[in-house]
Amino acid sequence: MKRAAPGEFEIIREYFAGAPIGEGVVLGIGDDCALLQPPAGALLATSVDTLVADRHFPASADPAAIAARALRVNLSDLAAMNAQPLWFTLALTLPHSDADWLQAFADGLLQTAKTYGVALVGGDTTCGPLSLTIQVTGSSQKPLRRDGARVGDAIYVSGELGASAAALPLVLGQKLAGKAEMEAAERAFYYPEPQLVTSAAIGGFASSALDISDGLLADLGHICAASGVSADVDMHALPVAPLARQLAGERALELAATGGDDYQLCFTVPQQQVATLEKLGLDAVCIGTIVEGRGEVHAWLDGERWFPEAAGYEHF
Ligand SMILES: [Mg+2]
């Protein structure tokens, strides 16, 4: 039997007020504002992201998976800056108040929050088409930025690329697949791993970094534009995810280069720091070099320029 639909105040109290209290939370959910104490000497890093049903995820998706993805994607932005997660707020717009949906959503959200040690400190609920906005705040002693890449720096990518983009047609129900493939696709799309450990490891010496959300080549272009340089990328060096090969076949390499939603890090390292990086044994590979130029990314395959059929994801 379905439980009665809760009202706004009840939603916050019943589903989210039990959120774990985190570091620096003087006063959490329940008053007009949260009161937060930043760590001494650190910079605060803050970022906000909105996910809209049927634009960023199917409205019918598992609410726990939607919640997990929304928070993980935001935490990825903190990882991109070498910031440790502290707090987040949630604005939730729901077409109707559904107790079962809310319980699953809150469980998924608070479980993810616990995994990454980030505390929910405030929220708002409204009636309307399904969408959610999360704002995260973290602290950083050594922030990584996009504008520090210099000519000669080595370009690295963490983890594997292309899985989420290859999974998207399955997640959207545009392509049918077996149970195992479907589960792997949902895992790749809804549960990206924010690269907080890698980011903390490279924070002391990387010259620039960002997280790959729009596609490697497009995002690397952002580093190049901000830094006033260009990049040469060896397509053979891209760490193509086995799932991308399995789901997308010959298109896997293109998806690794341009597909997006990877939430891996792309970062640059001065040549004199490459040995330091390699000694750490991180899951990261060198894919190219920063060269002189004006914000262009040149991809190379077998000695020839390689061009994608589709450019990186643009929202509008
Ligand atoms: Mg980002």
* Higher local confidence (pLDDT), 3 or 266: 266
CB 134, CB 89: distance < 8 Å: yes
User: pLDDT at position 147, please?
Assistant: 97
Q: Does residue 107 have a known ligand-binding role?
A: no
Contacts of 82 (CB under 8 A, 6+ apart): 140, 142, 143, 144, 199, 200, 202, 203, 209
Pick the range with the lowest mean pLDDT from 31-40, 207-216, 219-228: 31-40
Which residues are placed with Cβ below 5 angstroms of ligand 1, an ion?
77, 80, 211
Q: Does residue 98 have a known ligand-binding role?
A: no
Contacts of 25 (CB under 8 A, 6+ apart): 34, 35, 36, 37, 87, 119, 121
* Higher local confidence (pLDDT), 92 or 7: 92
| Full-model pTM | 0.92
pLDDT of residue 315 exceeding 60: no
Q: Does residue 56 have a known ligand-binding role?
A: yes
Task: Tell me the pLDDT tens digit for each residue of 46-73.
Answer: 999 999 999 889 999 999 999 999 999 9
Centre of ligand 1 from the C-alpha of residue 93, in Å: 23
Maximum Cα–Cα distance for the chain, whole Å?
Answer: 65
Q: Does residue 222 have a known ligand-binding role?
A: no
pLDDT of residue 7 exceeding 70: no
User: pLDDT at position 152, please?
Assistant: 98
Q: Does residue 146 have a known ligand-binding role?
A: yes
Q: What is the mean pLDDT of the chain?
A: 92
Centre of ligand 1 from the C-alpha of residue 14, in Å: 32
- Mean pLDDT, residues 128-147: 96
What sections of 133-273 are H helices per DSSP?
163-171, 179-190, 196-202, 216-227, 242-248, 252-258
Centre of ligand 1 from the C-alpha of residue 4, in Å: 39
Q: Does residue 315 have a known ligand-binding role?
A: no
- Mean pLDDT, residues 136-145: 96
Centre of ligand 1 from the C-alpha of residue 195, in Å: 12
User: pLDDT at position 98, please?
Assistant: 86
User: pLDDT at position 19, please?
Assistant: 65
Q: Does residue 54 have a known ligand-binding role?
A: no
Centre of ligand 1 from the C-alpha of residue 100, in Å: 32
Task: Tell me the pLDDT tens digit for each residue of 247-299.
Answer: 999 999 999 999 999 999 999 999 999 999 999 999 999 999 999 999 999 99
Q: Does residue 49 have a known ligand-binding role?
A: yes
The full set of domains in the chain, from first to last, is 8-140 (3.30.1330.10), 154-300 (3.90.650.10)
* Higher local confidence (pLDDT), 310 or 260: 260
Centre of ligand 1 from the C-alpha of residue 245, in Å: 25
- Mean pLDDT, residues 150-165: 98
Q: Does residue 77 have a known ligand-binding role?
A: yes
Centre of ligand 1 from the C-alpha of residue 77, in Å: 4
In terms of Cβ atoms closer than 10 Å to its own Cβ (0-12, 13-18, 19+), residue 300 is: middle
- Mean pLDDT, residues 1-5: 56
User: pLDDT at position 23, please?
Assistant: 83
Contacts of 23 (CB under 8 A, 6+ apart): 39, 86, 117, 119
> Percentage of residues in the chain with pLDDT exceeding 90?
79
User: pLDDT at position 3, please?
Assistant: 59
Centre of ligand 1 from the C-alpha of residue 275, in Å: 27
User: pLDDT at position 5, please?
Assistant: 61
Short-list 225, 220, 261, CA closest to 237: 220
Centre of ligand 1 from the C-alpha of residue 178, in Å: 32
Centre of ligand 1 from the C-alpha of residue 276, in Å: 25
Q: Does residue 262 have a known ligand-binding role?
A: no
* Higher local confidence (pLDDT), 129 or 12: 129
Q: Does residue 47 have a known ligand-binding role?
A: yes
